[in-house]
Amino acid sequence: MSREQRAAIDAMLRQPRSDEPRSVEEMRAWFRTMMAEMIVPDGIRTTATTLGPRPALLVEPVDGPRAGTILYFHGGAYVFGSPRTALSLTGNLVARTGFRALSLDYRLAPEHPYPAAIEDALAAYRALLDSGEDPSAIAFAGDSAGGGLTVTTCLAARDAGLPMPAAIVAFSPGLDATRTGESMDTKAGLDPFFTRESLGRTGAMYLAGQDPHQPMLSPAVLADLTGLPPMLLQAGTNEVLLDDSTRLAARARAAGVDAVLDVTADVPHVFQAFAGVLEEADEALDRAALFLGQRVRTTGAPTGSHGARSARTRP
């Protein structure tokens, strides 16, 4: 365990910030600036594309991908973030697995509240299937709010009669809009990112008056998880959302779903983004890549664009 690395990251994340509520544009600018500091691995290329009705970012190895697709959903409380802010995560998954990733630019609140993000994610998955992609060659992955989308998109796909993808990988997923997990209180002083109040502000933008006691808003406590694919849930002990993962894993297993709960001590929310700086981040990404490699069933190499239309390539 890298105590010095963890302490340095915790101190950086605790640098004083204004307690005044920020505008949506200020939050989005702050998040872009923070995530621009994360290390993106070498050996990948990105291409602006579309997937279904939405923009997306294709991330693939420069020497060509092996067969298999990661449909990635970025984090940002459904209010901020983009495929670019998640590039350290998608890039590292691509570099470690050899699969390509399609990172979806889904609509954000408050302009587009619930269920816009789920609708966009489902449309993206449907576009991959309609283009001939085998569901056994597709995995969902995401962080934070995007980690929540990996689960709710599977629920929406199941309810629509679509086949399940091969696997789910979720980094610090947000899975309970009711905020009833004990970690919301027991981890409050340890979490350098979130407070109940800050989550309440962005949560209200996404909910737009909806009751959070709905399966698609709080799957960790309310959804029927029957039939979901194998899932890997990674979280850190220093985050108020920890119990979102622990409760979902327990309820998934009770529903007959293979669920691996992977908790790392003394690390913050979406610690995997600190790959290249934090040893635990690289180790967690290695475990995620192993999980994906074991479950994504592929033969040959990807053919065609599989529903993604390229706009420009950027090495």
Contacts of 110 (CB under 8 A, 6+ apart): 24, 79, 205, 206, 208
In the 8-state DSSP scheme, what is residue 193?
Answer: S
Q: Is 34 helix (H, G, I), strand (E, B) or coil?
A: helix
* Catalytic member of 136, 144, 172, 183: 144
Q: Return d(Cα 140, Cα 152) in angstroms, integer.
A: 11
Q: Return d(Cα 7, Cα 190) in angstroms, integer.
A: 12
> Any catalytic annotation for residue 144?
yes
* Catalytic member of 82, 136, 218, 269: 269
* Catalytic member of 119, 133, 239, 280: 239
Q: Return d(Cα 187, Cα 71) in angstroms, integer.
A: 31
Residue 140 near residue 73 (C-beta atoms within 8 A): yes
Residue 79 near residue 24 (C-beta atoms within 8 A): yes
Q: Is omega for the bond preceding 53 within 30 degrees of 0, making it cis?
A: no
> Any catalytic annotation for residue 133?
no
Beta pairing partners, 140: 71, 168
**DSSP assignments along 70-113, one per residue:** EEEE--STTTS--TTTTHHHHHHHHHHH--EEEEE----TTTS-
Beta pairing partners, 234: 171, 262
Q: Is 69 helix (H, G, I), strand (E, B) or coil?
A: strand
Catalytic residues: 144, 239, 269
